[in-house]
Amino acid sequence: MTRKVVLITGSSGLIGSESVRFFIDKGFDIVGIDNDMRGYFFGKDASTKWQGTLLKKEYGKRITQYAVDIRDLTKIEDVFKAHTFDLIIHTAAQPSHDWAAKEPITDFTVNANGTLVILENMRKYCPSAVFIFTSTNKVYGDTPNTLPLVEQDKRYEISKTHAFYDEGIDESMSIDHSKRSIFGVSKTAADIMVQEYGKYFGLNTTIFRCGCLTGPGHSGAQLHGFLAYLVRCIATGKKYHIFGYKGKQVRDNIHAYDLVNAFWHVYQKPNKGEVYNMGGSRHSNISILEAIEKIEKILGKKAIYSYENENRNGDHIWYISSVTKFMKDYPNWKFKYDIDSILAELCSHGHY
């Protein structure tokens, strides 16, 4: 019996590598695309080459790897000509809104043009496949900062009277009239294009607007990978820099496994241009100050950190994703990890 094949872009990254392992366990063969641009974006400590080498060692012929740029029309088309895909998981991206301002053209062409290249080849060569795209909550820009927030001892929290208090920010939030960063614009362009290929061409496409993604496979860096980088700093005695909001900014964090498991559920019942907010929700969220306290306790080490009063441009003060819509459509999906189990795993098995 011929195995089904999944194409994973960014296959050595956090979500890509988790997808490789998950779908090999489900009986798929893997075609991975990763040219380690993360190393270019954030330096050698953030390189994902180690993960690609490990995956090849673990899975051998079950994974075929291509070190090509997703913007390269000819080489990407060659990949699609060489394989027939049942599922495409598109995670390759420039992921930092700080870095994007340094090289806007690189950011936009990787995130927007690269996504279009993958979509168009899907339409030409495997239109019955399922396409899953990892978008970002940065499509909402700084609109979340207009919510009625309340400062507490170690975190900001939304007013208990607001509709988002119980479950978090849902898909009703507008993507218009905000400052979303250069990165947010490039991902919004890709997000909308993935929707359009689903609705206009009738392809099976689903978009996940993700909060913070994490797990021990993360090559965390200062500009991307909040929890993994924070654990690395505390574990190795490196100074961590807090940017604004008194360190009380709140993020929901979802483990890579839980997100990839959501991909699996979508594959079994695909959509055409559907959008879901996805993150740790009320189930798994934390502020920087709270995270430092918990990690110090787990590692038995004191954090060394500095504080800069100026926040990152367009950064969220409080963001917790509502996963209600996704859980309504896919009621058999459940969280495996919460914030405490995530931190415990990062401290014991993190890449640092």
Residue 26 predicted with pLDDT over 80:
yes
What would the mean pLDDT of 96-124 be, rounded to a whole number? 96
245: left (phi over 0), alpha (psi -120 to 50) or beta: left
* Domains of the chain: residue spans and CATH: 5-349 (3.40.50.720)
Work out the burial of residue 2: count CB atoms within 10 Å of its CB; fewer than 13 is exposed, 13-18 middle, 19 or more buried: exposed
Q: Please give the share of the chain, as a percent, with pLDDT higher than 70.
A: 98
Structure confidence at residue 351 as a pLDDT band (50, 70, 90): low
Q: Which structure tokens are listed for 66? A: 């291509």
Label residue 147 by pLDDT band (50, 70, 90).
very high
The pLDDT tens digits of the residues spanning 58-96 come to 999 999 999 999 999 999 999 999 999 999 999 999 998
- Listed in sequence order, the DSSP H helices in 126-173 are none
> Which backbone phi and psi does 83 adopt, to 5 degrees?
-140, 155
Residue 229 to residue 251: CA distance in whole angstroms? 14
The predicted structure's pLDDT at residue 349: 84
Give the range among 105-119, 146-160, 252-266, 304-318 with minimum mean pLDDT: 304-318
The whole-angstrom separation of Cα 35 and Cα 29 is 20
Region 207-217: mean pLDDT is 93
pLDDT category, 222, cuts 50, 70, 90?
confident
User: Is the backbone of residue 323 left (phi > 0), alpha (psi -120 to 50) or beta?
Assistant: alpha
On whether the CB atoms of residues 112 and 100 are closer than 8 A, the answer is no
Report percent pLDDT > 90 for the chain.
Answer: 92
Give the residue-averaged pLDDT of 287-299: 97
pLDDT at 105 > cutoff 70: yes
Token readout for 101 is 């301002």
Answer whether residue 11 shows pLDDT above 80.
Answer: yes
pLDDT tier at 99 (50, 70, 90 boundaries)?
Answer: very high
CA dihedral 98, 102, 108, 111 (to 10 degrees): -50
Whether 305 shows a pLDDT value over 70: the answer reads: yes
Q: Which amino acid is at 215?
A: G
pLDDT at residue 224 above 80? no
pLDDT in tens, 237-288: 999 999 999 999 999 999 999 999 999 999 999 999 999 999 999 999 999 9
Give the residue-averaged pLDDT of 17-46: 95
Residue 352 pLDDT grade (very low, low, confident, very high; cuts 50, 70, 90): low
